[in-house]
């Protein structure tokens, strides 16, 4: 999709795909199947590389572009029941850095948004979503959950020329939840 920067059109692509077989999000992590691991990593992490393979030649021909993907904090910290999807998100974030390194010389930026919990079809597959969302109201520095539009605003920023010197980054859009070690005890 082109964004206008003066007379020059920029191109961006957003990878917002994730899936793990339900059993892998219900059973203990140690019981992850090889097949479930392959599926989760294929759909939730390789998707970005697949997009990069196809989009980067088009972006290079246009003088550059921006790629964005969606991740979650469970890549770094244990969020029970996120299981193999957390491994997929860790691989996805690592892919962001490798792609940013390789594509930077073509003026192609690659970033990720690490969003707080939102009630979507994919998120409803993770048990405990309601409790995680409620916890945001208590623990997050802004004492609230996030809205979908706030993720959209951050995505627009990262894809726009305003973020022209930002690449390889994982930007948290989570009302500050990720900085906390422990919630307020008041």
Ligand X SMILES: NC(=O)c1ccc[n+]([C@@H]2O[C@H](COP(=O)([O-])OP(=O)(O)OC[C@H]3O[C@@H](n4cnc5c(N)ncnc54)[C@H](O)[C@@H]3O)[C@@H](O)[C@H]2O)c1
Catalytic residues: 72, 82
Residues 6+ apart with CB under 8 A from 100: 109, 110, 111, 167, 168
> In this structure, are strands 108-115 and 2-5 parallel, antiparallel, or unpaired?
unpaired
User: Are 107 and 93 contacting, i.e. CB atoms less than 8 angstroms apart?
Assistant: no
The Cα–Cα gap between 31 and 184 comes to: 35
* Whether the Cβ atoms of residue 64 and residue 165 lie closer than 8 Å to each other: no
Distance of CA 106 to the CA centre of its chain: 23
DSSP assignment string, 141-178? TTSS---HHHHHHHHHHHHSGGGTT--S-EEEESTTGG
CB of 160 to ligand X, least distance (A): 20
CB nearer ligand X, residue 18 or residue 87: 18
For ligand X, give the closer residue by CB, 70 or 108: 70
Q: How far is the CB of 143 from ligand X (least distance, A)?
A: 18
Shortest reach from residue 156's CB to ligand X, in Å: 16
Nearer to ligand X, 65 or 117 (CB): 117
Binding site for ligand X (CB under 6 A): 16-19, 43, 70-72, 115, 117-118, 120-123
35: exposed, middle or buried (Cβ count in 10 Å: 0-12, 13-18, 19+):
exposed
Name which of 48 and 100 has its Cβ closer to ligand X. 48
């Amino acid at each position: 999709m082109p964004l206008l920067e003066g007379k020059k059109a920029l191109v961006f692509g957003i990878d917002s795909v994730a899936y793990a077989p339900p059993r892998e999000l219900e059973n203990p992590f140690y019981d992850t199947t090889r097949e479930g691991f392959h599926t989760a990593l294929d759909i939730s992490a390789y998707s970005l590389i697949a997009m990069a393979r196809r989009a980067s030649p088009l972006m290079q021909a246009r003088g550059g572009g921006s790629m964005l993907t969606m991740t979650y904090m469970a890549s770094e910290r244990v969020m029970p029941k996120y299981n193999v999807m957390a491994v997929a998100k860790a691989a996805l974030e690592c892919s962001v850095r490798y792609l940013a390194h390789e594509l930077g010389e073509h003026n192609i930026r690659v970033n990720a948004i690490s969003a707080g919990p939102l009630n979507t079809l994919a998120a409803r597959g993770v048990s405990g979503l309601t409790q995680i969302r409620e916890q945001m109201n208590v623990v997050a520095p802004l004492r609230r959950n996030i809205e979908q539009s706030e993720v959209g605003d951050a995505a627009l920023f990262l894809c726009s020329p305003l973020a022209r010197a930002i690449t390889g980054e994982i930007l948290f859009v989570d009302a500050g939840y990720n900085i906390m070690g422990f919630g307020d005890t008041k």
